[in-house]
Amino acid sequence: MSLFGEIVEPASRTIWEDWDDVLPESDDSKLQWQNKIEISQDIDTFYFIDGKYLNYFIDLQSQQLQLINEIKEANLRLYKIKLLNKYLCTIRDYDIVLSSEIVQLLEPYLESCKNVMTIQTIPISEYRSTQFHVQPCVIRGLYTSAIANKSEFEFPKLEQPNMISGVAAGVISLRERLDKNGIALICYMENTDDYQVEELQKLFDKLDLGSVYKPTINNVINSNLYI
């Protein structure tokens, strides 16, 4: 007799079942902003800097930056660039499982601003391309459908099968769903050469972030970021 589609109880309760050792589910993570502040509805650009490597190059003591909020559990900080109507958000060493929750907390900012740009670094060894690249730094971009002039940024589109993940992916996906401008820049780098620092300097200058850029690599070279 076929038992396909039927529920059959085991002959003995000594047989282990999937549900026997199920532990009570822990409470969902409840990340929160440290401060309750009114969100500006007139943000020009929202920069999202993802990763330890890029964080080393942000001068967090710069007089141009004002810390306005943070989520300590996710190592996320939100700054306002004083002389510009722009915001800078940094994140590092976070649990990728919390990505969706973090994007939800960022959503009010992402909905109200005119432009959004994410920047992250990935080891160049993970870059997949049909072309051979000898340069130690390759920058690629993902653009939402609302971006009319991609040539303005001079960065080729990220090719398949390369992909991005985590909060940066959630941010750019949300902007696509909202049918608003959004750019995700991915910097594939070696991280052991002054050349990359030069490339980052050019990139930050182009994005009007030169005033908060700190060209130092000592801590980065001595780190175990990609081990």
The pTM of the full predicted model, rounded to 2 decimals, is 0.79
- Domain over 45-221 is classified CATH 3.40.50.1970: no
| The pLDDT of residue 149 | 67
* Amino acid present at 166: G
**Could you check whether the bond before residue 136 is cis, i.e. omega within 30 degrees of 0?**
no
Q: What is the mean pLDDT of each run of 10 residues along the chain (227 residues)?
A: 49 51 55 89 92 83 89 94 89 92 95 93 87 78 84 80 93 95 91 69 85 67 49
Rounded Cα distance between 8 and 14, Å, is 15
Maximal CA-CA distance, the chain: 78
pLDDT of residue 192: 57
Q: What is the pLDDT of residue 29?
A: 61
The structural domains of the chain, with segments of one domain joined by +, span: 45-221
Helix ranges, the chain (H): 52-55, 99-112, 166-177, 194-206, 218-221
Residues 79, 43: contact at Cβ < 8 Å?
Answer: no
| pLDDT the model gives residue 103 | 96
Q: Which residues of 3-15 are buried (b: 16+ CB within 10 A; e: fewer)?
A: eeeeeeeeeeeee
